[in-house]
Chain A
Amino acid sequence: MIVTAVVVPGDNVDTDVLYPGKYINILDPMQARLHLFEGLDPSLRDKLRGSTALFVGENFGSGSSREQPASAMVASGVRCLIGRSFARIFGRNAVNCGLPAFVNPTAVDAVLDGAEVDVDLRTGVVRIGERDFESAPMQSVPKEILAAGGLVKWVRTRSTSPRS
């Protein structure tokens, strides 16, 4: 799908700057999105118009398990993240919220803020200008969860018996 690239500069962008702790008692993503990026650069919020993809650095989303950074991104029209790498819990939360987080450092190097790019949300291939950038392959379970549209839908479509 065609999305607008929004570059979030820097490495180790943590959940405290993405969504400060004092707001973690706000549960509604539509309300939470009003505080997204508050500790980093609130003007990034204004760039989230229409369908967007966030291009991010190393270890994005490190820190807290709070889910508002991911759910508020979904509520703001972010369709996927393209990053150098993701912190563990943030990466899980994104997938669980149905938000693909692709590891694709060369695409991050190539992109310009505000560019229109074409992302295949299933395969993670990012087309910037005339070039295709392949994302690192995603593991089976997160892929299934994303295909289902998030963890809630995935759980609903499965039995609750253990499997491995």
Chain B
Amino acid sequence: MSETLVQKIISRHLGGKAVKPGDVVMLPCDVVLGNDASTNGAIRVLHEMGVDRLPDPSKVVTVADHFAPAKDVISATLLKQMQDWAQEQGVAFYGQGRGGIEHTVLIEEGWVVPGSVIAGGDSHTCTYGALGAFGTGVGLTDLACCMATGMFWQTVPDTIRVVFSGTRRPFVRGKDLILAVLAQTGVAGATGSVLEFTGSAVVDLSIDDRMAVSNMAVEAGAETGFFPADGVTAEYLQSRANRAWSAEASDSDATFARELHIDLNTLSPQLAWPHLPGNVTAASEADTKKVDQVYIGNCANGTITDLRDAAAMMRGRQVANGTRMIVVPASRRVYKQALEEGLLQVFVEAGAVVSAPTCGACFGGHNGVMAAGERVVATTNRNFRGRMGSPEAEVFLANASVAAAAAVAGRIIDPRELESAA
């Protein structure tokens, strides 16, 4: 019987039992992730479940990111409670100064390998699709269930195949590819499905670009969105993977629910307008209103690739008068690399602020939230009303080059425009 990649992954985790879309299974997970927003709730639920000791702490990873460094006493208490619990249970813990944003950290630190099943108490667990893993977000009761029993209930999804062809043009990144996908699917078009990213253009996408793509699969409603493992994946994982893996792909005659085509030859830098990630146009179609803040950061787009792109825009230039810019390297590793490459100096000289790795203002928590009536261009993944602070703020999503160009121009422009003005 021909199978899609997601069927193969699920079937292998059930000891070889064949599955079809629509089946509901108890799916064993290889890794379980919690952050400071979800773990503490899960600890409470574990008590209610009557579980004092985790049966398999080696699978569980915790990361302090949403409110770290602690923004207030409530958050400090939660961070402390998670750290104490992690130590007591013997689960991995990445604390302040050691890790960074959970998804970047788990990928960098080798927890994610192709074909694995990862349940995380965070909706952007789908980022692990960059390495061909079935990563999917769950709530805190599900998270506790995964910690207690090693599995969660999951409906076997069908597959929407996304075919990327052609060659990427200047200033086009993974972010633009997924925004182009969202322009086609809308914000619910992939509900109950996984997105499988394939096509001739995929070999040209680095893991950083793939992270940007997979990260926003949930914005299309998908269970996850993955790139079947290839040479790029193998090279990235060579000195990193913490367990063995093998590459798998959908059978050539597998049945797909739908196929989407994105031709990179005609794709320009994209922009998602408030207040939906699916409100996408070309960045060149933006209006000329003032931008109050530019935010470079988040679990998918605070990578070294993003920081390099932003620094290339900023070098020898200044953040426009009346505009603020904040750069949030996603992890300690990214921070260190950017430091070594002199990128942080470029930002500071341009008048930007460089922050410690944190989720921060990405979800409106702290560290750069927006006032009513303000506009922000962010490399993040959600622009829902109130996402980055006031419900009357406007959030635009774009890649790091577009965001940095907006910081220099004080309004949204196509980065090619800034380059030609130089």
Chain A interfacial positions (CB closer than 8 Å to B): 12, 14, 16-17, 20-22, 24-27, 39, 58-59, 62-67, 70, 85, 87-89, 92-93, 96-97, 139-142, 145, 150-152, 155-156, 160, 162-164
Contacts and interface: CB of A to CB of B under 8 A. Distances in A.
A97 B141 contact: yes
Q: Which 9 interchain pairs have the tightest Cβ spacing? A: A21-B363, A59-B188, A93-B139, A67-B139, A39-B386, A96-B141, A16-B384, A65-B123, A21-B364
Nearest to A87: B221
B144 to A, nearest CB: 8
Contact of B364 (A16, A58, A87): A16
A138 B17 CA distance: 23
Nearest to B41: A27
Contacts of B140: 65, 67
- Give the one of B15, B191, B192 with max A CB within 10 A: B191
B188 A12 contact: yes
Query: Size band of the B side of the interface?
Result: 35 or more
20 contacts: A12-B187, A12-B276, A17-B384, A17-B391, A25-B78, A39-B385, A63-B384, A64-B123, A85-B191, A89-B123, A92-B153, A96-B145, A97-B141, A141-B153, A142-B153, A151-B142, A152-B144, A162-B28, A164-B14, A164-B26
Contacts of A163: 26
B41 A62 contact: no
A93 B141 CA distance: 7
B265 to A, nearest CB: 32
B165 to A, nearest CB: 29
A164 B14 CA distance: 7
Contacts of B50: 156
Contacts of A17: 384-386, 391
B123 A63 contact: yes
B309 interface: no
